[in-house]
């Protein structure tokens, strides 16, 4: 079986390759709603209502091109695994491709980090089509999110959406993933105090207005415990804190929309928080 067929079969088995159609949007009295259209699942259920300029691209079209791009990139994807998370209606989907044969170790970290490519698509206009590389720390199955360190392809569903261009960017993602080793290594050299780590965790959990000095928050308690464990393993540094954030998201039982939101939140912290930003500058 080819790499392409293996990946497409996994997507099909997980119910991602359904067909969608467009239809006019009418009022109850039969009047056509201007500049709007409905996107309909092959089951007959309305997935969403979008503007007339919204470019409908089926999951099969997007991921067929994307999987072909993986095969053509010559990456070792023979044992690649695909994981699909989508909403009940199929309006949003996050697809993670894990490449266990593409990996490296980060300095004192005893765990392998294997390559992942996360791809998002939606039919409701809430999420752009996006593909981006990351890693999976195999010791704890921690999906390691990367901010602007790696290249990505991102477009709204308009006439500018070019699926083939997205697939062509896979080669750049492979190179950037290998270079991310330097970024993670620099994180290990970036000291983070317990106080600074706590401040980042408060921001990460959206608890800036929470009275954590007089009240207990279970999520914050869990993250502090995770920080202590990772700090003991790696030392008090940005890499330990980074693993807390990504591990927490990986452990959370989130919907497709929720996971997309939290991954974006972590990526923003990586690009804005001083400890991570300085490590990126040093890499």
| Average pLDDT estimate for 233-249 | 87
Choice between 54 and 4, residue whose per-residue pLDDT is larger? 4
- Residues 163, 165, 168, CA angle at the centre, nearest 5°? 115
| SS3 letters across 186-218 | HHHHCECCHHHHHHHHHHHCCCCCCCCCCCCCH
DSSP letter assigned to residue 80: -
What pLDDT shows up at residue 143?
54
Q: Are strands 92-105 and 112-122 parallel, antiparallel or unpaired?
A: antiparallel
Q: Are strands 46-51 and 112-122 parallel, antiparallel or unpaired?
A: unpaired
Helix (H, G, I), strand (E, B) or coil at 140: coil
Choice between 261 and 151, residue whose per-residue pLDDT is larger? 261
Which phi and psi angles does 16 have, rounded to 5°?
-90, -25
d(CA 186, CA 280): 7
What pLDDT shows up at residue 279?
61
d(CA 83, CA 92): 14
DSSP codes, 218-229: HHHHHHHHHHHH
d(CA 281, CA 179): 13
User: What is the per-residue pLDDT across 194-210, written as a single tens digit (0 to 9) for each?
Assistant: 999 999 999 999 998 88
User: Tokens 């999987």 correspond to what residue?
Assistant: 67
- Mean pLDDT, the chain, whole residue set: 81
Please give the span between the terminal C-alpha atoms of the chain, in angstroms, as a whole number.
39
Q: Which two tokens stand for residue 53?
A: 């300029």
Does residue 152 contact residue 51 with C-beta atoms inside 8 Å? Answer: no
| Average pLDDT estimate for 119-136 | 76
pLDDT of residue 27 exceeding 80: yes
What pLDDT shows up at residue 141?
46
pLDDT band at 6 (very low <50, low <70, confident <90, very high): very high
Most confident of 7-11, 142-146, 254-258: 7-11
pLDDT band at 282 (very low <50, low <70, confident <90, very high): low
Residue 41 CA from chain centroid, whole number: 24
What pLDDT shows up at residue 137?
64
DSSP letter assigned to residue 31: P
The percent of residues in the chain predicted with pLDDT above 90, rounded, is 25
d(CA 16, CA 83): 10
Does residue 223 contact residue 248 with C-beta atoms inside 8 Å? Answer: yes
What pLDDT shows up at residue 224?
94
User: What is the per-residue pLDDT across 93-115, written as a single tens digit (0 to 9) for each?
Assistant: 888 899 899 887 777 677 778 88
């Amino acid at each position: 079986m080819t790499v392409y067929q293996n990946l497409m079969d996994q997507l099909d088995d997980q119910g991602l390759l359904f067909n969608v159609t467009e239809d006019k949007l009418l009022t109850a009295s039969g009047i056509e709603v201007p500049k709007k259209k409905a996107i309909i699942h092959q089951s007959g259920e309305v997935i969403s209502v979008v503007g007339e300029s919204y470019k409908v691209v089926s999951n099969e079209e997007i991921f067929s091109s994307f999987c072909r791009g993986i095969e053509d990139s010559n990456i070792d994807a023979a044992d690649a695994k695909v994981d699909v998370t989508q909403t009940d209606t199929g309006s949003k989907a996050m697809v993670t491709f894990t490449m266990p044969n593409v990996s490296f170790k980060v300095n004192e970290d005893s765990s392998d980090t294997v390559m992942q490519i996360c791809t998002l698509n939606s039919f409701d206009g809430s999420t752009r089509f996006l593909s981006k590389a990351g890693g999976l720390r195999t010791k704890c199955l921690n999906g390691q999110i990367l901010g602007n360190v790696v290249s990505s392809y991102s477009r709204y569903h308009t006439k500018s959406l070019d699926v083939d261009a997205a697939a062509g960017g896979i080669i750049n993602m492979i190179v950037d993933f290998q270079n991310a080793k330097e970024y993670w290594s620099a994180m290990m050299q970036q000291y983070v105090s317990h106080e600074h780590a706590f401040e980042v965790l408060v921001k990460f959990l959206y608890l800036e207005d929470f009275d954590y000095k007089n009240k207990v928050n279970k999520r914050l308690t869990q993250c502090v415990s995770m920080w202590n464990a990772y700090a003991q393993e790696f030392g008090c540094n940005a890499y330990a804190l980074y693993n807390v954030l990504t591990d927490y998201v990986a452990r959370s039982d989130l919907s497709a929309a929720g996971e997309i939101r939290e991954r974006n939140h972590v990526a923003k912290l990586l690009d804005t928080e001083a400890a991570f930003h300085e490590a990126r500058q040093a890499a």
